[in-house]
């Protein structure tokens, strides 16, 4: 993949040394892999470090969808749960762990990245439009890359985070193995994802909200009214190309099967008062 005229915008000095070939993990010399000789391009100063694996051919079309989403709207995900309160909470959660070198996978418009305090910050996304918005908010080393093919050397980061990304991976297992690979020993991975609630989890959530340990008949009556009489119209969801479905337990199993030890699971079914939009939003804290 050779670059064409107009696509080789300057990159800040020294930043290219942080990247490797996403496929063979060999060093890059002026965006050419020293091992497989594949040459990568830049767009607006962002290295486009996408895999050449035929299994990921759909990534170009997926990236185009996200580019169009970010061109049309700012604060794309705010009305779907990524509120300022959530970002502040998530950023505070990250401060519990060493973060000398921090990576956010799927940084979007950079709201979380802006709130993170780390000595060195890296961020990937499939959308150049998202990275432009993120760069306008904060400084970091940005790249267009797949979670399944991270363009970083082994054991590069103390802390890796993603918010609402796991459910959109092309291959969840491969992406989690890549996350583990780039984490230093003892490093942490913090993942927020959306799950499918089982029938028992839905029932348990309603019991704890309205019946036990505190009987809240007025609140129950209001909920029944909204469900049975004044059923609200949900906010329009942004259609995304990939929607992986899994339960709370299945997501944990995927993390652990791919070498990440889950040390905590956070959701409103377990901890009331978390700034999450519903019981289907779950945060996993895992360690390498």
Note the pTM of the prediction, 2 decimals: 0.85
pLDDT in tens, 150-181: 999 999 999 999 999 999 999 999 999 999 99
DSSP sequence for 172-201: HHHHHHHHHHHEEEEEEEEEEEE-PPPHHH
pLDDT in tens, 19-58: 999 999 999 998 999 999 999 999 999 999 999 999 999 9
Q: How many CA atoms lie within 13 A of 102 on its CB side?
A: 25
SS3 (DSSP) at 209:
helix
Residue 79 has a pLDDT of 77
What is the phi/psi pair of residue 158, to 5°?
-80, -30
Task: Give how far Cα 158 sits from Cα of 31, 111, 190, 271, Å.
Answer: 25, 20, 11, 27
Question: Could you give all domains of the chain from N- to C-terminal order, each with its CATH number?
Answer: 1-49 (no CATH), 71-196+243-287 (3.40.50.150)
Average pLDDT over residues 123-142: 97
Question: Quick one: angle between helices 128-137 and 59-72, nearest 10?
Answer: 50
CA 89 centroid distance within chain: 16
């Amino acid at each position: 993949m050779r670059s064409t005229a107009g696509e080789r915008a300057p990159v800040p000095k020294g930043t290219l040394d942080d990247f490797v070939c996403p496929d063979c993990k060999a060093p890059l010399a002026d965006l050419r892999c020293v091992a497989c000789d594949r040459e990568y391009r830049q767009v607006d100063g962002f290295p486009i470090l996408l895999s050449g694996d035929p299994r990921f051919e759909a990534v170009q079309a997926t990236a185009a969808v996200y580019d169009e989403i970010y061109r049309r709207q700012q604060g794309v995900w705010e009305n779907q749960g990524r509120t300022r309160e959530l970002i502040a909470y998530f950023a505070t959660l990250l401060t519990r762990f060493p973060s000398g070198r921090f990576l956010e996978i799927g940084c979007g418009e950079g709201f979380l990245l802006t709130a993170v305090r780390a000595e060195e910050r890296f961020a990937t996304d499939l959308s150049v439009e998202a990275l432009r918005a993120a760069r306008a908010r904060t400084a970091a080393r940005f790249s267009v890359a797949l979670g399944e093919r991270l363009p970083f050397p082994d054991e590069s980061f103390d802390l890796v985070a993603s918010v609402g990304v796991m459910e959109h991976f092309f291959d969840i297992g491969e992406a989690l193995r890549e996350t583990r690979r780039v984490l230093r020993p003892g490093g942490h991975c913090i993942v927020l994802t959306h799950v499918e609630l089982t029938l028992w989890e839905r029932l348990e959530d309603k019991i704890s909200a309205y019946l036990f340990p505190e009987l809240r008949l007025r609140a129950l009556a209001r909920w029944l009214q909204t469900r049975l009489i004044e059923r609200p119209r949900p906010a329009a969801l942004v259609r995304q190309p990939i929607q992986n479905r899994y339960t709370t337990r299945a997501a944990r199993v995927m993390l652990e099967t791919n070498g990440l030890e889950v040390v905590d699971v956070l959701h409103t079914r377990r901890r009331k008062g978390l700034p999450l939009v519903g019981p289907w939003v779950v945060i996993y804290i895992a360690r390498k």
